[in-house]
Copies of this chain bind each other. A is one copy, B any other.
Amino acid sequence: MLRGTWYISPTPFAEGGEVDTAGLERIVAAAASWGVDGITILGVMGEAADLTAAERETVLSTVAAAARGKVPFAVGCSAPSAAIVAANARRAAEAGAAAVMVSAPPLLKDTDQIGAFYKGIASELPVIVQDEPAATGVTLPVSALLAALDAAGSTVVKLEDPPTPPKIGRLLAQRPGLTVFGGLGGVSAYSELRRGAAGTMTGFAYPEILRAIRLAYEAGDTAGAARINDRFLPYLVFEGQVRVGLGIRKEVLRRRGVIATARTRALTPLPDAATLAELDDVLARVGLTPAIEPLQVSP
């Protein structure tokens, strides 16, 4: 189950700034209708670090109810100490999650300690080891990633350390059976598949596109996969920009009719006028007209 095209859900906020649970339910329903293999909540793009514990619980219980019987979900449980990760993971298990996702503790200096950290999680659910230098300030070499996997009893990695394609290659060369998800907004989705990725797990606002790339690739239609990738690449690159990308992504979800506002909890909470003008331009260039219906993508 942990492979394919997983969608990382943002956390939608209402005009007043509170978590928009109706929007969250629409996200789950829409993502399921878009054909994703699973939904990951409370990750970096879900602004998990910017939610209160009560809000975190709201997101979890809302998604658990909305996803039950429809689509599996994974829960970001990252925290500075293994004790908190473990508590988050227990709650995820209770709520019916299929897996938990955990990145290194922020600003970890001694990467030889990564095994001790992951061992401390002791989750009953499968653990997705998230390689996330931008959000954690920690770069994990392949040897440390493998130590983390061993300690967590896991065989699933999600990579966000650019450039991801060669790192996938190094990981699989050393540990052939691993399931590796690409990330980083899907900008390198096609390259990641070429290197052996099992799919992508990212918050790109059109998971249908990433799914279509993957399905073509898995069907042996490499050229078709590349054509889809290249057709939508201008938008993938635009949405994939660090920091400002989340606001763009939410704005597109808003235009698709899924959520009510593009608000984030970042210091500049909404895309500025120039960014919105660029968005209009790039959507037009790649021929995307935002709608909640699944985008039909052919190679």
Contacts and interface: CB of A to CB of B under 8 A. Distances in A.
Work out how many copies of this chain go into the complex: 4
Contacts of A17: 83
A43 to B, nearest CB: 14
A244 B54 CA distance: 33
Nearest to A174: B112
Nearest to A143: B112
A65 interface: no
Interface residues of A, number: 68
Contacts of A237: 187-188, 233, 237
Query: Looking at A54, A116, A117, A265, which has the most chain B CB atoms within 10 Å of its CB?
Result: A265
Interface string A220-235: 0000001101100110
Chain B CB count within 10 A is highest, among A112, A268, A272, for A112
Interface stretch (A33-41, A67-75, A158-166, A289-297): A158-166
Given A142-B112, A242-B163, A285-B226, A53 B50 contact: no
A210 B277 CA distance: 22
Interface of A: 17, 47, 49-54, 79-84, 87, 106-107, 109-113, 116-117, 120, 133-135, 137, 139, 141-144, 162-163, 165-166, 169, 187-188, 191, 194-195, 226-227, 229-230, 233-234, 237-238, 241-244, 265-268, 272, 274-275, 277-278, 281, 285-286
